[in-house]
């Protein structure tokens, strides 16, 4: 009897929702698995008693007791928030590690946008203003410094792409000794305030959790160069939004680009929508049309090993 692999990948974002073609391609590649798709939580729970592997966005801790044959829960997500670990340590849990290339392209776009003053270009378009001198303060990216907070495999992918345009990369990591290659230097969290003044671009890709809440606060923002920009592509809790708004309104830093927010979706009443030199994307830095194709390309060899 073939092991049963249950796929529960339904999502409001279309590319996060498995298509028939993607499922068929996965089934063809994993011929020695019985691949079954479910479309809602009730159907998933009904499948759990016979499931050997579950591929899902969500898995609660109490569901493991319903799945005596389960050996593996796999999720495309890089974050740990939605898939609980097995309380008994019996079931393996793995997370997607393919996001780096996608997020690196998002970051490069943001950095180019900020560095070339494209936000000013859009404002000028709305004002029907032909102000060429607004770009007189732009500088070459070659030789600028990006500081990546939470420097792991995603940060290393970002470092490789930024290096193509000459940006030097520094990293910050809980354990610098385990940092992947790509950064000139990697520091521990205690060095944050010492290294911030060196950065032209401060990139936050920290995970969620109490230990990272307001990692970038008013004191950290005060250590940034007035010409520097802040980017958050990790989790929204890491940046103190009130402190950031204040810094931008005072011109204490040049700008910010947030892909993640403290509250998502961002309420229409939030003052962040109208904060000067602040640009927002809706938690979209890892969205691309080949998202699940990339994930299955990563997962399938592991299942076949």
Q: Choose the catalytic residue: 99, 168, 201, 283.
A: 283
Catalytic residue among 46, 264, 288, 298: 264
CA 257 to chain centre: 13
Q: Write the CB contacts of 194 (distance below 8 Å, at least 6 apart in sequence).
A: 187
Query: Hey, how many other C-beta atoms are within 10 angstroms of the C-beta on 253?
Result: 20
> Does the annotation count 184 as an active-site position?
no
Interhelix angle for 20-29 vs 291-304, to 10°?
20
Cis peptide before 119 (omega within 30 of 0): no
Burial category of 172 from C-beta neighbours within 10 Å (exposed 0-12, middle 13-18, buried 19 and up): buried
The neighbour count for residue 114, using CB atoms within 10 Å, is 23
283 classed as catalytic: yes
3-state secondary structure of 164: helix
Q: Which of 37, 99, 201, 235 is catalytic?
A: 235
Q: What are the catalytic residues?
A: 235, 264, 283
């Amino acid at each position: 009897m073939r092991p049963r692999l249950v796929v529960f990948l339904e999502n409001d974002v279309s590319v996060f929702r498995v298509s028939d073609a993607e499922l068929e391609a996965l089934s063809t590649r994993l011929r020695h698995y019985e691949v079954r798709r479910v479309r809602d939580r009730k159907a998933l729970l009904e499948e759990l008693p016979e499931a050997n592997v579950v591929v899902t966005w969500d898995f609660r801790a109490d569901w493991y007791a319903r799945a005596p044959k389960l050996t593996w829960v796999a999720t495309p997500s890089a974050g740990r928030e939605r898939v609980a670990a097995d309380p008994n340590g019996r079931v393996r849990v793995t997370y997607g590690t393919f996001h780096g290339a996608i997020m690196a392209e998002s970051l490069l776009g943001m950095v180019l946008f900020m560095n070339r003053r494209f936000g000013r270009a859009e404002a000028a378009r709305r004002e029907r203003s032909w102000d060429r001198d607004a770009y007189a303060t732009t500088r070459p990216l070659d030789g600028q410094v990006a500081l990546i907070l939470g420097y792991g495999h995603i940060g290393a992918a970002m470092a490789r792409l930024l290096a193509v345009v000459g940006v030097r990369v520094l990293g910050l990591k809980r354990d610098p000794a385990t940092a992947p290659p790509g950064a000139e230097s990697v520091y521990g969290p205690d060095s944050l305030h010492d290294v911030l003044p060196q950065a032209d671009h401060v990139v936050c890709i920290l995970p969620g959790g109490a230990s990272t809440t307001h990692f970038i606060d008013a004191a950290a923002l005060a250590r940034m160069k007035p010409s520097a920009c802040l980017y958050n592509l990790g989790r929204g809790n890491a940046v103190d939004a009130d402190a950031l708004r204040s810094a931008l309104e005072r011109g204490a830093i040049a700008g910010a680009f947030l892909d993640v927010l403290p509250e998502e979706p961002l309420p229409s009443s939030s003052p962040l929508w109208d904060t000067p030199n602040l640009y927002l994307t809706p938690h979209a830095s890892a969205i691309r049309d080949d998202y699940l194709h990339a994930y299955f390309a990563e997962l399938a060899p592991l299942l076949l090993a």
